[in-house]
């Protein structure tokens, strides 16, 4: 579907700037904004809703090979603390 819109100049400039910062064409950026509006309007309001959202999106249990998350976190922290800076 194709829709023509007459946007106020300041809004068009703002959208164009945001799209440029993301290296996206303006039309693709606007499509992204429109497709994510449901999520933005229904943000989780508490911890339980956030966990449910993360489960639905596949974030929780996305790395099933990690069996001990605390040990994994400690190992990541150790690697970060001991890496060479260069």
Per-residue model confidence as pLDDT tens digits over 9-47: 999 999 999 999 999 999 999 999 988 887 777 888 999
**Token digits of residue 72:** 């994994």
Residue 17 within a domain: yes
Tally the domains of the chain.
1
CA angle 27, 33, 38 (to 5 degrees): 145
Distance CA 48, CA 64 (A): 21
Residue 28 within a domain: yes
**Token digits of residue 26:** 């303006």
Q: Helix H segments across the chain?
A: 9-21, 26-35, 37-41, 47-57, 69-82
What is the value of pTM for the model shown?
A: 0.48
Distance CA 80, CA 30 (A): 38
Residue 74 within a domain: yes
Residue 59 within a domain: yes
Q: What is the domain range of residue 55?
A: 9-82
Residue 2 within a domain: no
Residue 16 within a domain: yes
Indicate if the pLDDT at residue 78 is higher than 80: yes
> Confidence band (pLDDT; 50, 70, 90) for 75?
very high
Residue 41 within a domain: yes
């Amino acid at each position: 579907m194709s829709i023509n819109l007459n946007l106020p100049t300041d809004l068009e400039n703002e959208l164009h700037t945001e799209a440029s910062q993301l290296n996206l064409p303006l039309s693709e950026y606007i499509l992204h904004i429109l497709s994510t509006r449901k999520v933005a309007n229904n943000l989780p309001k508490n911890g339980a809703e956030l966990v449910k959202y993360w489960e639905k999106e596949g974030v929780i249990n996305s790395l099933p090979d990690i069996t001990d998350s605390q040990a994994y976190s400690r190992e990541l922290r150790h690697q970060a603390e001991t890496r060479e800076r260069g």
